[in-house]
Chains A and B, each alone.
Chain A
């Protein structure tokens, strides 16, 4: 089933749209089932998993057909397509859907557990997760402003709700912070869009319109301002400095799978949105124009600041979720650094790094979920709970080791090393030596951050510790951890696989 019998207005290719439609329909289905049969609580999670699986299953179709894959196209010679994915976009969709699937697995088939974690129970949680995932999958492929705006907000708001529904201690504070920053950023996005339409006279992310706009001096400045507003509006979602302050507050009060969701799918959505915004600039730079040099500087500064501040503060954190929050901020810098170079290979490198980052983060979040089974909220968790993990639970220690080493960029998680090299490559190629220096320093800092945690797991527990610390390994969590570890190991053995995906 490809095109709708042409109504002459727009063509729809449902297979291509499936990665977006499947989660969205799944969310609706969950809500409908909850309305019709409120007692059938065991159905919600399977519905969620199935819809995400369906979305993932439809991805190869887009891969097999022509790249870039287009749909939602208006007819006629000046027709343009509102949905377009190339290899980068498909990889990002893969990341978003797969990460979402793994997060749902981590939330666990035990609905009692979900009820304990989140207010509203399984239905609300699964619906929110699916809705946000649909938004993430959509924003990656959006080629015009309205679609993009709707998608990014669809990806943001359910996350706010998820944090607010957490039963953790202090959840309302974290949710309030996330909410306020989200709203302010939306306002900034709106202003940015207004300026964009003003400058280009067109509501699409196309290279030609930008080129034309950049040629007029007064439009040039307005357009630059528009791009800045858009990037600033996206900054909070990326957890880039100085839009990062909500991250520690929100992570620490949320349940671990929800925090994992914030750290992975939200980031994928943000990176996708940023790539869409900066995409025309990449094409312009490839043409040899220097209009975007100031943007390159700005995004580079954001990346450098995020990396450094994130690593420096993560070194002093004792709560594992706060550590992960600051680590997320630092990794955001790593994802942004190649992106700031505004070259096509740099964009692929950024997405490849994101893939490794997502896998590593999910592994670590999963282990955290197992070690701290109760939603403890702020101040309830400590790294001391990991002492002697290697002896108590070797499986968790190995997964933790894989994840931390992948994030740090150390063997035997070779995939982490490759990702770091892939991220530095474009920066060196463009000749931004100040940024290279910052990257190198941060490699060292990053190793310190993650090894510090790993050392806790490797050291023996103090003699007076209880023999079992109450780790819980639900079947869903176990499956998720095994899948993530397998993916990390596979990518370590065949790093070209990960890099090739993004090209």
Chain B
């Protein structure tokens, strides 16, 4: 039982640590930073313990809900955590990346007065992600999902004095929230069908019926939102307003991958749901190619990475939609999740460092900054190599696995879905290599156009450098993990491997040849690309404006129509009062006497007639 217990302790450390870090921040920023890193270290250690102790599957009940054997008409809520070795591996990966982020943030945000708040939020976020990873229960998953959404809002909008950051934060929140509505519906439907919120029970009851299909489709839509796939992709781009460690955390290891993880756990259910699989397949296929294409045209390096993330998440999700067996899909998706976490974190953290050296993350400004730091350039190059999927880097291994699973048919020819996804994957491979090359060239080549003045060389701590080194090593050697863990590299298809190498080479050539950065002014195409092809304006027009108009109508109805019922009696009483006051104003004694006698007459009338 070491696995689940270690994980439970890690949860406690992370979630309980968040307010502690905040409190320490009131005392001293250094204290808070130290505490945050320490807690992250402890949690990561516990994650490693969980990996080592996880032989087989154990479950740990979190809450006592219904006593065993009791029948209630409410669905069961077993609320269990589980660690299989797969779960433990992913959990440990997440925790290690969180540790890297906390360490890096300590020096990156050195001059930020709200650093303790940032680190506390990171800790809470990590706890939520961990909960989602190890939960065996749909309700706990939902809890983690929602908490992550809120924490991402806080992290993206960390530099809240900037209006752009605030807008990006609530845009991210609102867009994912809209998708979360579908997510919740999906979860509720699944619980209702299965009569319990346990993953095992849900998968058991998933029998390809229409109800399951609808539920899974709703769930898939929710995942698309969180993972920034079409049509929800635009929030991730704006989320670059947050500090780089936040982007590393959210866009590498955690939030965008959370959806993948949930679908991985429910892969069996997804496998039998045809409509959901189609939706997922179409969305991921479109997204991965479109995003890779757009990444090539960006003017800001950090945005290149953002579009890259969108594309890679599409790659991650695609095997779940088209795999021949659920187990295959699970393995491929989880594998790419693992490797993407590592190399994306590395890339984001490095670009953060480079941006401090160069003064900004615009391509123009980063141009040639590699000369200042060989170490940074080397690390940058390694990350990009893994991103491009060069064989035997961790990125290469997982990418091959994904393509192999997507392309493999069980003898009866590729379906339309499979073909579409496989084609998209191949196109993406080429374009990924292209933009990876471009990104490397931006940094490595000497400066050709004048850019921003470089800032003073930052005081990058030893720990930060060590972190980057560790991540780089993991990028190269991470492939070894595939051999000792359940992240099965699977079918190593030699013909496909050959095709990939050819595609990568093509992409690199394209990247070397087309030099959009040589021009003094960015081409209009690039400008439009950097604005996400107008997706933001589309969001506002299609969603925001109609909702606001509806809200105004509702407010009007409430104010004018419903409230008038409340105001009417007040008006009546007021009118009566005014009339009464006017009637009583001339205080004549003769009138008083008249009233007395009239009163008597009326009383007599009422009594004798009544």
Seen from chain A, the residues whose Cβ lies within 8 Å of a Cβ on chain B are: 173, 176-177, 180-181, 184-185, 188, 221, 224-225, 228-229, 231-232, 235-236, 241-243, 245-246, 248-249, 293-295, 297-298, 301-302, 309, 312-313, 315-316, 445, 448
Interface string of B563-592 (1 = CB under 8 A from A): 000000000011011101100100101011
State how many angstroms separate the Cβ of A139 from the closest Cβ of chain B.
Answer: 20
Contact, CB under 8 Å: B607 / A232: no
The docked-state distance in angstroms from the alpha carbon of A243 to that of B610 is 21
The docked-state distance in angstroms from the alpha carbon of A217 to that of B596 is 28
Asked if B66 is an interface residue, CB under 8 A from chain A, the answer is no
State how many angstroms separate the Cβ of B581 from the closest Cβ of chain A.
Answer: 5
Contact, CB under 8 Å: A297 / B610: yes
Contact, CB under 8 Å: A243 / B580: no
The docked-state distance in angstroms from the alpha carbon of A396 to that of B599 is 39
Asked if B604 is an interface residue, CB under 8 A from chain A, the answer is yes
The docked-state distance in angstroms from the alpha carbon of A472 to that of B581 is 31
* A313 with B581, Cβ < 8 A, contacts A177-B587, A228-B600 known: yes
Asked if B608 is an interface residue, CB under 8 A from chain A, the answer is yes
The docked-state distance in angstroms from the alpha carbon of A448 to that of B576 is 15
A246: chain B residues within 8 A (beta carbon): 592
A225: chain B residues within 8 A (beta carbon): 604
B584: chain A residues within 8 A (beta carbon): 245, 248, 313
Picked from B573, B599, B608, the residue with its CB within 8 Å of the CB of A243 is B599
Chain A residue at minimal CB-CB distance from B600: A232
B574: chain A residues within 8 A (beta carbon): 315-316
Contact, CB under 8 Å: B600 / A229: yes
The docked-state distance in angstroms from the alpha carbon of A181 to that of B603 is 17
Asked if B462 is an interface residue, CB under 8 A from chain A, the answer is no
Contact, CB under 8 Å: B596 / A243: yes
* A302 with B608, Cβ < 8 A, contacts A232-B596, A245-B591, A313-B584 known: no
Asked if B548 is an interface residue, CB under 8 A from chain A, the answer is no
The docked-state distance in angstroms from the alpha carbon of A45 to that of B216 is 89
The docked-state distance in angstroms from the alpha carbon of A184 to that of B602 is 17
Contact, CB under 8 Å: A312 / B607: no
Contact, CB under 8 Å: A245 / B604: no
A181: chain B residues within 8 A (beta carbon): 592-593, 596
Picked from A242, A249, A295, A298, the residue with its CB within 8 Å of the CB of B596 is A242
B610: chain A residues within 8 A (beta carbon): 293-294, 297-298
B576: chain A residues within 8 A (beta carbon): 312
Contact, CB under 8 Å: B595 / A243: yes
Asked if B63 is an interface residue, CB under 8 A from chain A, the answer is no
- What are 26 contact pairs spanning A and B, CB under 8 A? A173-B587, A177-B592, A180-B593, A181-B593, A181-B596, A184-B597, A185-B596, A224-B608, A229-B600, A231-B603, A232-B596, A232-B599, A241-B599, A243-B599, A245-B584, A245-B587, A245-B591, A245-B592, A248-B584, A248-B587, A249-B587, A294-B606, A294-B607, A313-B581, A316-B580, A448-B573
Top 8 A-B pairs, shortest CB-CB distance: A242-B599, A316-B577, A294-B607, A232-B600, A245-B592, A242-B595, A313-B580, A297-B610
Interface string of B277-297 (1 = CB under 8 A from A): 000000000000000000000
Asked if B454 is an interface residue, CB under 8 A from chain A, the answer is no
State how many angstroms separate the Cβ of A233 from the closest Cβ of chain B.
Answer: 9
Contact, CB under 8 Å: B606 / A297: yes
Picked from A176, A249, A295, the residue with its CB within 8 Å of the CB of B607 is A295
* A445 with B593, Cβ < 8 A, contacts A188-B600, A242-B598, A294-B608 known: no
A-B contact sample (11 more), CB < 8 A, given A181-B596, A228-B603, A295-B607:
A176-B589, A228-B600, A229-B600, A235-B596, A235-B599, A242-B595, A242-B598, A245-B595, A294-B606, A313-B584, A315-B574
Q: Which of A224, A225, A295, A315 has the most CB of B within 10 A?
A: A315
* A315 with B577, Cβ < 8 A, contacts A232-B600, A294-B608 known: yes
State how many angstroms separate the Cβ of A284 from the closest Cβ of chain B.
Answer: 15
B599: chain A residues within 8 A (beta carbon): 232, 235, 241-243
The docked-state distance in angstroms from the alpha carbon of A298 to that of B573 is 24
Chain B residue at minimal CB-CB distance from A188: B600
State how many angstroms separate the Cβ of A196 from the closest Cβ of chain B.
Answer: 15
A245: chain B residues within 8 A (beta carbon): 584, 587, 591-592, 595
B592: chain A residues within 8 A (beta carbon): 177, 180-181, 245-246
The docked-state distance in angstroms from the alpha carbon of A294 to that of B596 is 20
Contact, CB under 8 Å: B581 / A228: no
The docked-state distance in angstroms from the alpha carbon of A313 to that of B610 is 29
State how many angstroms separate the Cβ of B566 from the closest Cβ of chain A.
Answer: 12
The docked-state distance in angstroms from the alpha carbon of A246 to that of B593 is 10
State how many angstroms separate the Cβ of B548 from the closest Cβ of chain A.
Answer: 36
B589: chain A residues within 8 A (beta carbon): 176-177, 180
Contact, CB under 8 Å: B606 / A309: no
Interface string of B246-259 (1 = CB under 8 A from A): 00000000000000
Chain B residue at minimal CB-CB distance from A179: B589
Chain B residue at minimal CB-CB distance from A181: B592
Q: Which of B576, B578, B598, B603 has the most CB of A within 10 A?
A: B603
Contact, CB under 8 Å: B608 / A184: no
B587: chain A residues within 8 A (beta carbon): 173, 177, 245, 248-249
B602: chain A residues within 8 A (beta carbon): 242
A229: chain B residues within 8 A (beta carbon): 600
Chain A residue at minimal CB-CB distance from B599: A242
B578: chain A residues within 8 A (beta carbon): 316
A188: chain B residues within 8 A (beta carbon): 596, 600
Contact, CB under 8 Å: A301 / B573: no
A445: chain B residues within 8 A (beta carbon): 573
The docked-state distance in angstroms from the alpha carbon of A445 to that of B597 is 29
The docked-state distance in angstroms from the alpha carbon of A301 to that of B577 is 19
B580: chain A residues within 8 A (beta carbon): 309, 312-313, 316
Chain B residue at minimal CB-CB distance from A173: B587
Interface string of B20-44 (1 = CB under 8 A from A): 0000000000000000000000000
A301: chain B residues within 8 A (beta carbon): 603, 606
Contact, CB under 8 Å: A184 / B607: no
The docked-state distance in angstroms from the alpha carbon of A298 to that of B606 is 6
A295: chain B residues within 8 A (beta carbon): 607
The docked-state distance in angstroms from the alpha carbon of A316 to that of B582 is 11
A224: chain B residues within 8 A (beta carbon): 607-608
State how many angstroms separate the Cβ of B291 from the closest Cβ of chain A.
Answer: 61
The docked-state distance in angstroms from the alpha carbon of A301 to that of B606 is 9
Contact, CB under 8 Å: A316 / B581: yes
A309: chain B residues within 8 A (beta carbon): 580
A236: chain B residues within 8 A (beta carbon): 596
A228: chain B residues within 8 A (beta carbon): 600, 603-604, 607
Chain B residue at minimal CB-CB distance from A185: B596
A294: chain B residues within 8 A (beta carbon): 606-608, 610
The docked-state distance in angstroms from the alpha carbon of A347 to that of B573 is 31
B595: chain A residues within 8 A (beta carbon): 242-243, 245
The docked-state distance in angstroms from the alpha carbon of A166 to that of B231 is 85
The docked-state distance in angstroms from the alpha carbon of A316 to that of B606 is 30
The docked-state distance in angstroms from the alpha carbon of A245 to that of B597 is 13
Q: Which of A184, A248, A293 has the most CB of B within 10 A?
A: A184
The docked-state distance in angstroms from the alpha carbon of A406 to that of B577 is 23
Contact, CB under 8 Å: B593 / A184: yes
Q: Which of B574, B577, B581, B607 has the most CB of A within 10 A?
A: B607
State how many angstroms separate the Cβ of B190 from the closest Cβ of chain A.
Answer: 48
Chain B residue at minimal CB-CB distance from A309: B580
A312: chain B residues within 8 A (beta carbon): 573, 576-577, 580
State how many angstroms separate the Cβ of B136 from the closest Cβ of chain A.
Answer: 50
Interface string of B369-394 (1 = CB under 8 A from A): 00000000000000000000000000
State how many angstroms separate the Cβ of B598 from the closest Cβ of chain A.
Answer: 6
State how many angstroms separate the Cβ of B572 from the closest Cβ of chain A.
Answer: 9
State how many angstroms separate the Cβ of B147 from the closest Cβ of chain A.
Answer: 40
A448: chain B residues within 8 A (beta carbon): 573
